């Protein structure tokens, strides 16, 4: 099967996972860490688990392992942005992942929550293809600002914080296999060479073929 056919299948899957409804309002019930929360739909009473799209924050509890104070700081900052019992809006541009969770673009009180988590440095940029290039571009700018201004996990106090996806692999005794791209230069690297790309502009692909089909070399 050639790359174009594979891409077409993958894009179809992506579209099938896309939220079909208009923007959704959810009342926040609990916040697990800086990128994951649960809530109940204001209109439908359905319980939703929501993960912030494009944002990966230090793990509070992953397989009974924690990234410590940085994880709690990230969680507490999310709680400041979206307090328990507050109502958030999930954009119609949000997606659903294979586990049925909403990969949410969230706003609360006029604030883009995802961007603010990145801008204040309490999350790492985290996109796996397929992704919307416009959204990634905006989020890269927020992540870059946090990195350059040494905020949050990039501050002197938390500068040693491991990228959460690396932490999860370490805890589960796995090694990264996915190729990683530099969003700005479109240069592609093997997983073991991802340190060559600044953390604020890394994007991930399921395989080299998808990356090359999207202009990465």
| HEC sequence for 102-136 | EEECEEECCEEHHHHHHHCCCCEEECECCCCHHHH
Average pLDDT over residues 21-45: 93
Would the pLDDT of 13 be above 80? no
Q: What is the CATH number of the domain that holds 58?
A: 2.40.50.90
Give the residue numbers spanning the domain of 12. Answer: 3-213
- The dihedral sign for the CA sequence 167, 171, 172, 175: positive
Q: What is the pLDDT, as a whole number, of residue 186?
A: 98
Q: What is the pLDDT, as a whole number, of residue 92?
A: 81
CA angle 97, 141, 53 (to 5 degrees): 15
Q: What is the pLDDT, as a whole number, of residue 98?
A: 74
Per residue in 111-135, pLDDT (tens digit) is 999 999 999 999 999 999 999 999 9
**Mean pLDDT over the full length of the chain:** 90
Q: The whole model's pTM is what?
A: 0.88
Q: What is the pLDDT, as a whole number, of residue 101?
A: 86
Would the pLDDT of 203 be above 60? yes
CA separation for the pair 54, 128 (Å, rounded): 9
Q: What is the pLDDT, as a whole number, of residue 63?
A: 96
Q: In total, how many domains does the chain have?
A: 1
């Amino acid at each position: 099967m050639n790359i174009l056919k594979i891409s077409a299948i993958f894009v179809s899957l992506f579209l099938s996972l896309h939220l079909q409804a208009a923007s959704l309002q959810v009342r926040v019930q609990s916040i697990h860490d800086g990128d994951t929360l649960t809530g109940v739909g204001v209109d439908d009473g359905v319980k939703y688990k929501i993960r912030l799209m494009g944002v990966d924050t230090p793990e509070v509890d992953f397989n009974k392992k924690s990234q410590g104070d940085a994880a709690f700081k990230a969680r507490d900052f999310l709680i400041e942005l979206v307090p328990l019992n507050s109502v958030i809006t999930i954009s119609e541009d949000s997606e659903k992942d294979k586990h049925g969770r909403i990969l949410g673009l969230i706003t609360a009180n006029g604030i883009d929550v995802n961007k603010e988590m990145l801008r204040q440095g309490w999350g790492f940029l985290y996109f796996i293809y397929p992704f919307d290039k416009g959204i990634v571009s905006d989020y890269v700018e927020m992540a870059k600002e946090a990195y350059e201004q040494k905020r949050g996990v990039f501050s002197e106090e938390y500068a040693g914080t491991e990228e959460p996806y690396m932490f999860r692999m370490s805890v589960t005794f796995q090694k990264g296999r996915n190729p990683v791209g530099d969003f700005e230069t479109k240069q592609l690297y093997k997983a073991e060479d991802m340190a060559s790309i600044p953390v604020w502009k890394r994007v991930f692909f399921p395989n080299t073929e998808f990356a090359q089909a999207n202009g990465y070399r």
